[in-house]
Structure 1
Amino acid sequence: MPLGGGNKCGRCQKTVYFAEEVLCDGKSFHRSCFLCMVCGKNLDSTTVAVHGDEVYCKACHGKKYGPKGYGYGQGAGTLSMDRGEALGIKPEEPAPHRPTNNPNPSKLAQRFGGSDKCPRCGKAVYAAEKVMGAGSAWHKVGCFTCAACGKSLESTTLSDKDGEIYCKGCYSKNFGPKGFGYGLGAGALAHTQ
């Protein structure tokens, strides 16, 4: 421990006193210096990712050092690219490309086994745009709407009939019971004297 009364900060190299000290990976930091190297966000024990002598938030660490390609580096980024070269372990050879007989022309669909078809528009539905309703996968935007009025639906409040989906109101109007006392709203039964 230096004569100044505390350890040196891992960021600014100035003395860190006990009241302002944050410990991470065996190093001391001032609370005000314990920030992501890229975006400057304040860090804590649940959001920090260490790479060498630098500290990052998990999202920036994932973008900078995580796996590259479609779908990576957007979230917490906790997947590691370390393949063991530093330990003398040789990386595995990539698997050879095998052609597929999947009729779907999308490269992602061929690689991951195809995709569901939307019953409304007939196009492929991928995970990012998918919502389930009436036993089928639908596009959340544009297709997951009431067949009668076009209102956006939620999977918990829809009704289905013959492969189409409806809001509760349109389903009741079109397929609910008919006759005196039905479908007039609250207090539908009328009493006549």
Structure 2
Amino acid sequence: MPFKPVEQAKCPKCSRSVYAAEERLAGGYKFHKSCFKCDLCNKMLESTNVAEHESKLYCKQCHGRKYGPKGYGFGGGAGALSMDTGAQFGNKESEMSNKPTSGSSGDAGTGPKCPRCGKTVFDAERAIGSTVPWHKACFRCKQCSKALDSTNQNAHEGEIYCKTCYGKNFGPSGYGFGSGAGTLSSDK
């Protein structure tokens, strides 16, 4: 019986034979080590950051940009999803509402609800230092919108305030309680 040589796999990028000592696998294809790079940005790839599409290699970021979801909020690719609502604290026109929204879309969670916005608070977005679950973005003074933490917040009737606003609204009043220069605060 005549000897028949084994046909080597061809690299999809350069169309040359790929030998076992130099092969890299992705999507069922064998590539040369030197050909194992992103088709868009030319970044060298590893098994942890490679994505294959129709025998072409991409880094996960370029693959997400080219083939991932498109539209508002997707930020141009996978890994770039945005939680920014565009609201800026302190700006009265764009200040977030302090009333819970009922039946809001996108709130399918069954966990604890944020007292400020009424939406589910997931662990990744929970404010640290509060026993009550608040979103990090909602954990601000109700009056002045200053960002709060466990050391500078005071609660009153289900709402939170910075020490300055709490003192102005709910602290002692009258002669000797905050009417002189000794009570000025630079807490903002």
Same fold (TM over 0.5): no
TM-score, normalising length: structure 1: 0.43
More strand by share: 1
Higher relative contact order (CA 8 A, sep 6+): 2
- What is the TM-score of this pair, normalised by structure 2? 0.44
